[in-house]
Every structure is written in C-alpha cells, then in structure tokens.
Amino acid sequence: MLSGTLHDPYTGTVIVFFRGRITSVRVQIDHVVALSDAWQKGAQQWSTSRRTAYANDSLNLLAVDGPTNGRKSDGDAATWLPPNKAYRCSYAARQVAVKVTYGLWVTSAERDALARILASPFGAAMAAVRENEGRARACGYDVRRVRWQAFTLSGAFTGLAGALYALKLGIVPIDSMDLGTSGLAVIMALLGGSGTFFGPFVGALVFVATETLASGWTEHWPLVVGALFMACVLFFPRGVWGTLLGRLPRWA
C-alpha cells in the first residue's frame, strides 16, 4: 500500500498514511494477542504450521497507530488497554475470541480485566451509539432507548448543577438562561475532552481559572479565552483530560 487513511481504533484518531522510510512507522499491523503473550500461554506447545497460521490469522491482525502499538508491546489486557475507551469493549471481545479459537489461557489478572470491561454493557452501548448508530443498531442495540438514557443522564447532571448554582447565589439570575451560557458549557466540555466523564469538569476548571486570571489583567479577557480554546482545538483535539488519558493508557 502506498497511501491511505486509517481510522485508528486504538486512539480514535484519523491517520493519513504515506509509504516511506520515515512515515511508514506511523501505521503498524498489531497482533491483538501478542505473539510473545501467546507463546507464554500455550503456543510453545504448537507445531510450526499452527504457529504460522496464528501469526497470519486476520482475526488477530489489526492496523493501528504505530507509536501506540509500541507502547502496548506484548502486554495483555491486564497491563494495557487502548487509550480510546470506546474501543475497549471490542478490543476485549477480540482478545477473548482469539484466545478461545486457539485455546490460549489467561492469567487471573487478565481474566478480571476482561470481565470488568465486558460486564459494562450500558457504557459499551452508549459508546457504540456515539461512534456509529447504524452499526450499533445492526448489533442489536436499541438506539432510541440508549439516546433517551443519555439525554436523561445529561439532563440530570445539568439540572443538579443549575440547582446548586442557584443555592449558592440565593437567586436565579436571568443571564443564566442566556444562549451564551449554553455555549460556555460546550466550550468547557471541548476544553476538557468530550466523550469522557471527567473531561467537562477539567474543562470548567481551566475555563474559570483562565477567565479569573485574564479578567484581572485586561478587559478583553474573552479574546484570551477564545485564543486558548482555538489552541486547544488545534493542538489537543481530545481535550486536556482526553490527552492526559492518551498519555497514560495503562491507568486510563
């Protein structure tokens, strides 16, 4: 292949690929269950032909981001998971499929990690609908119900935040119902990292801290906040919290 575009499942990013001495390392073919991991857990007893078949089985091969694959190394589910949380359930299911197909065993820590991921159907359903509604519907998810559940949960959190804000001030200011206030909530979510639970909280902290510092320095503080927002979108598209999780995939 000379060039192409990869929607990387491990990071959730889009990689534009061009074949070359320097650029080719950006995309690698990963063994979902690493060859070293398989060797330690049963493959040492196989014949040469079975090992060759395993190494070339498309069930166990996946095109992914090169540096992320390097960080994975030969880790199993107990020591490494994709930074893209939306793909973790699919990753765990594929690991199980490979190990069942080839009769490979798992450690107790690996079993617990896989069970923890696969036993969270609600989160997996929400992630699936967010990523691709058509595919989620084809997999049997009730997309309408999942969307209503997400709407209800988000409404509950925002309603709680509004109630606490009113209790703090002792009044309900009219500007809290302004269109700009809704825009601020979106900015905070994008700053912190949309698609993560703690991202909006981190984004709100960054926004309020920047507003407080910049307003004491200049009356044109919205320009400073706007510049910060543009820089974040350009250089940290996954937000502050999302980028941090990507740098620490093992603890994410």
Bigger pLDDT: 178 vs 120:
178
pLDDT band at residue 250 under the 50/70/90 scheme: very low
Query: 48-83, pLDDT tens digit by residue?
Result: 999 999 999 999 999 999 999 999 999 999 999 999
How far is C-alpha 150 from the geometric centre of its chain's CA atoms? Answer: 17
33: pLDDT strictly greater than 90: yes
Q: Taking residues 132-143, what's their average pLDDT?
A: 74
pLDDT digits (tens, 9 = 90+) for 185-233: 888 888 888 777 788 888 889 888 888 888 888 888 888 888 888 888 8
Contacts of residue 25, defined as CB under 8 A and 6 or more positions apart, other chains included, come to: 66
Mean pLDDT value across the chain: 84
Report the pLDDT value the prediction gives residue 252, as an integer from 0 to 100: 42
% of the chain at pLDDT higher than 70: 94
Q: Distance (Å, rounded) from C-alpha 189 to C-alpha 221?
A: 20
Q: Where residue 139 falls among pLDDT bands split at 50, 70, 90?
A: low
Distance CA 157, CA 144 (A): 20
Per-residue b/e over 33-70, b at no fewer than 16 CB within 10 Å?
Answer: bbeebbbebebeebeeeeeeebeeeeebebbbbbebbe
| Of residues 139, 233, 247, 142, the one with CA closest to residue 194 | 233
Q: How confident is the model at residue 251 (pLDDT cuts 50, 70, 90)?
A: very low
Global pTM reads: 0.53
Q: Among all chains, which residue has been given the structure tokens 């997309």?
A: 143
Dihedral of CA atoms 115, 121, 125, 127 in degrees, nearest 10, equals: -40
Beta carbons within 8 Å of 190's beta carbon, 6+ residues apart:
203, 229, 232, 233, 239
* Residue of 248 and 161 predicted with greater confidence: 161
